[in-house]
Copies of this chain bind each other. A is one copy, B any other.
Amino acid sequence: MDETPPEHLKSAGLKSTLPRLKILDLFKSGSERHMSAEEVYKQLLAVGENVGLATVYRVLTQFQQAGLLVRHNFEGGKSVFELNEGTHHDHIVCLQCGHVEEFYDSAIESRQKKVAAELGFEIHDHSLQIYANCTKTKCPNKR
């Protein structure tokens, strides 16, 4: 359902190839919203799709540059990507289970602008992650 039409890629200036379509589909219809290169690679293998790891890395970076994906650097050294749906948000990461929750707080956003302005900087972007522990039942406490 909801196959990615080649136009999405073409309009991003990327020619429509099989690996690219598969990767984009994975983000559009896959179960995980935030994925590392390795995770994308394994998910594809699991479905019998064979895409080289090098290609996964290359395509993820291209998608990011084209604005289709956003890259985040959470702790742990590996980059994770997610679909760019136009609206900025930040993340809260559970230290026990690794679960990622998204949030947007306009007060935090506007304060950042003010801080930067006061220091004589022109903001390009920012990276905010809260590291925390789930207190609710949902945390399976794995990892």
Contact = CB atoms under 8 A, between A and B. Distances in A.
A128 interface: yes
A129 B92 CA distance: 15
Contacts of A131: 123-127
Contacts of A54: none
B121 A135 contact: yes
Interface residues of A, number: 34
A18 interface: no
A44 interface: no
A116 B94 CA distance: 11
A15 B58 CA distance: 47
B128 A126 contact: yes
B124 A133 contact: yes
A91 to B, nearest CB: 10
A92 B138 CA distance: 34
A105 interface: yes
Given A101-B121, A103-B119, A108-B115, 14 more contacts: A73-B75, A105-B111, A107-B111, A111-B111, A120-B138, A121-B130, A123-B130, A124-B131, A124-B133, A126-B129, A126-B131, A127-B127, A127-B128, A127-B131
